Amino acid sequence: MAITLDDLKLRAIDYLLASTEDGQLVLEPFCSCGSPLDEDYRCAQCGKICDCKFVACSGAQALGIVEKLISGSPGFRDFEASLLVK
């Protein structure tokens, strides 16, 4: 199932934006309000401490890598992923 940034905001879901650079996975954390997060996952805009367990993937390659992480790594077992559409 694909998802949009508006869907994430409406559902108040904190998320990781997954993309690939030179074949490597890049994960950027975002608050449900849409603001990028620092390393402490505290949102500078709304003050919330975020819990990013959803991964919005910007392409099929990123989604494939994330799905392998979720199925093969205990640290990612509680994560969900979906393809991000505009």
What is the per-residue pLDDT across 6-38, written as a single tens digit (0 to 9) for each? 999 999 999 999 999 998 999 999 999 999 999
Total Cβ atoms within 10 A of residue 83? 16
Q: Are the CB atoms for 12 and 32 separated by under 8 Å?
A: yes
What are the tens digits of pLDDT across the range 44-80?
999 999 999 999 999 999 999 999 999 999 999 999 9
Buried-exposed string 27-57: b where 16+ CB fall within 10 A, e elsewhere:
eebbbbeeeebeeeeebeeeebebebebbbb
pTM of the model: 0.92
Tokens found for residue 31: 């608050």
Q: Is the pLDDT reported for residue 1 higher than 90?
A: no
